[in-house]
Structure 1
Amino acid sequence: MLKRKIGRIDYQGSAVMFGAASLGDVTQEEADQSIKHALAHGVNHFDVAADYGNAELRLAPIISEIQNDIFLATKTGKRTKDEAKTEIYRSLERMKVDSVDLLQLHAVGTIEELDKCTAKGGALEALIEAKEEGVIREIGITGHGHQAPVTHLEALRRFPFATVLLPLNYYMYSLPEYRQAFDALMEEANKQETAVRVIKAVAKAPWIEGEERPYATWYKPFDRQEIIDACVHFVLSFPGIAGFASAGDIHLFPKIVDAVERYGSMSDEEAERILSSISGYTTIFGAPTSID
């Protein structure tokens, strides 16, 4: 398994993170099988959130026993200090651990949400306090949508976050405004040695109303191995990316791991040919155009 340093954090994490949103609505047996598959293939970077359904509970039986061997990250979506502090300790209890390696402010994709988190009495104060108490080791921030790069750049001006987590895929980076904002964020993140971790690498498009949904993801994912390979190649070839989260469905996870294990076997030109020729490839966040 390809490993990459997580910014200024002294840890070599697997290039693919186990995106534990996939465990939100599965049985414990299904969760255990998926986690064991990850561990067997060298995945040591696990990313969950308090609001991913039962995901923290599903991680607990195995993760609590091997915590010293992995990098464990979770998130709080609360916006006030008191609410966030309560949720942090609830996450620890649910996962049966005494601490986590990374606690992230979750879904901060606009300046408005950032203002809530960084205001006096906001959630950031809870994370700083929890770090001082030794129950979290590092503080990060995550965000969805087209404003995430701009928001996270401003976030790094306000606080030295150890990590940022935001969308990146071939289509989104083809949008000039998103590309410019993402590049600006990468430049600042490199200066601060902040780890840039990405999501939605294999997202194809929004689901169409009434369409059959064979996967648990809230968007339509790619599921052909060749296209997944190209998507993974794109994000892992991107300079400075510390890693990417797998899609939120346990059935897609083995294909994504397989693509990472074969990373380097596809050329940039081949990935470009595959991704540029996909009909219906678009953003899942509401941009008006698509690559046809």
Structure 2
Amino acid sequence: MERRDFLKSAALAAMATAVHNRADAAGTHNGIPYRTLGRTGASVSMVGIGGHHIGRNTVPAEEATRIVHTALDSGINFLDNCWDYNDGVSEERMGVALQGGYRQKAFLMTKLDGRTAQLAQQQLEQSLKRLKTDHIDLIQIHEVIRMTDPERVFAPGGSLEYLRKAREQGKVRFIGFTGHKSPEIHLHMIETATKHGFTFDTVQMPLNVMDAHFDSFQKLVIPVAQKLNMGILGMKPMGDGIILKSNVVTPVECLQYAMNLPTSVVITGCDSMKILNQAIDTAKNFHPMNQEQVSALLAKTETVAKGGQFELYKTSHNFDGTYKNPQWLG
């Protein structure tokens, strides 16, 4: 399929997809709603804990452990991380927190940057060591933010070549990809995978009240992912706090909106117990939003969302770790 036809079909599908078509429900645990992670069949909590925040130097190591333990004890099972977060500190702290039986409570996801099989292997092995585990439930190819990334991933000797072997070896269960730059790049990644006879298990993208108005992943990528039964991971519900600076939405509204989309998980960064409890309470008290509620929320954000001024991950290099460190790609 030609690119323009692929994008056109995605856009048409988007228009036919209602915002409130959520992922399949999969019961609750300690009051936290669970959803099915697409084609994997795994049950995951509606909200997941981001790994970057717990590795920041403003968060004491003991507090990071407390956040992970409280999340898992409260019914959240989805944990996010990445090989490059805080120079490995995020994975190391999570690895410590997962000892003493906590690993068995978690659906553990991490990400890697390497575009070559060699670097992908090195980074995955480092992640396994830091996280103190013999397998990762979901490994994702991180920061697919260039139109050339898909070709590198699927080239002979590319990262997917190794990840498929790692899956066969039991080091990873599922394979996905992430990105925050452009829905067109996401669609190119999915299209490239299809050409190579491969379907990603999951796809991660920014999904929030601003994205709906500007270069929207929600409108273009979600329908394609749904058609392929990929697990949909929503990230940046508050844009790392930048969206809140618009002064038109609250943190709870941001979380509710993302949860109301067909997301399997909404990943949110928690650098304190207060923020974690806010996420837990929002998930436990979540009720599907009706169209009037959605429209009212989008009306509040429409004007300020234009131009992407509150979505700097799309419009700047501020969030592009591999732009600043191209050696991570190989």
Taking structure 2 as the reference length, the TM-score comes to 0.74
Query: 3-state SS of the aligned residue for 2:233?
Result: strand
Q: Does 1:162 align with 2:195?
A: no
- Residue 236 of structure 1 is matched in structure 2 by 259
Query: What amino acid sits opposite 1:245 in the alignment?
Result: I
- Residue 89 of structure 1 is matched in structure 2 by 125
Q: Does 1:220 align with 2:242?
A: yes
Query: What amino acid sits opposite 2:282 in the alignment?
Result: A
- Where does the alignment leave 5 or more consecutive residues of structure 1 unmatched? 204-216
Deviation per CA, 1:181-215: give whole Å up to 9, x if none.
x4443333223221111111112xxxxxxxxxxxx
- Residue 44 of structure 1 is matched in structure 2 by 77
Deviation at 1:170, TM superposition (A): 1.6
- Residue 214 of structure 1 is matched in structure 2 by none
When structure 1 is superposed on structure 2, of 184-193 and 97-106 the one drifting more is: 184-193
- Where does the alignment leave 5 or more consecutive residues of structure 2 unmatched? 1-31, 317-330
| Aligned counterparts of 2:280 and 2:46: Cα–Cα separation in 1 | 10
Deviation at 1:69, TM superposition (A): 2.1
Deviation at 1:58, TM superposition (A): 0.4
- Residue 91 of structure 2 is matched in structure 1 by 56
Deviation at 1:221, TM superposition (A): 4.8
Query: 3-state SS of the aligned residue for 1:73?
Result: strand
Query: Which of residues 275, 285, 288 is equivalent to 2:313?
Result: 285
Q: Does 1:113 align with 2:149?
A: yes
Tell me which protein shows more helix as a share of its residues: 2
Deviation at 1:252, TM superposition (A): 3.1
Which segments of structure 1 move beyond 4 Å, counting only runs of 4 or more?
265-268, 278-281
Identity of matched residues, % = 26
Query: Which of residues 123, 126, 131 is equivalent to 2:167?
Result: 131
Q: Does 1:269 align with 2:300?
A: no
| Aligned counterparts of 1:51 and 1:222: Cα–Cα separation in 2 | 26
The 8 Å contact of residues 72 and 105 in structure 2, kept in 1 or not, is answered as no
Query: 3-state SS of the aligned residue for 2:173?
Result: strand
The 8 Å contact of residues 141 and 176 in structure 2, kept in 1 or not, is answered as yes
Q: Alignment RMSD, CA only?
A: 2.6
Higher relative contact order (CA 8 A, sep 6+): 2
Residues 144/155 of structure 1: CA separation in 2 closer, same or farther (3 Å cut):
farther
Query: 3-state SS of the aligned residue for 1:222?
Result: helix
Query: 3-state SS of the aligned residue for 1:241?
Result: coil
Deviation per CA, 1:215-269: give whole Å up to 9, x if none.
xx4x625389x7222222222222x321111036445333222222221186553
The 8 Å contact of residues 152 and 164 in structure 1, kept in 2 or not, is answered as no
- Residue 98 of structure 1 is matched in structure 2 by 134
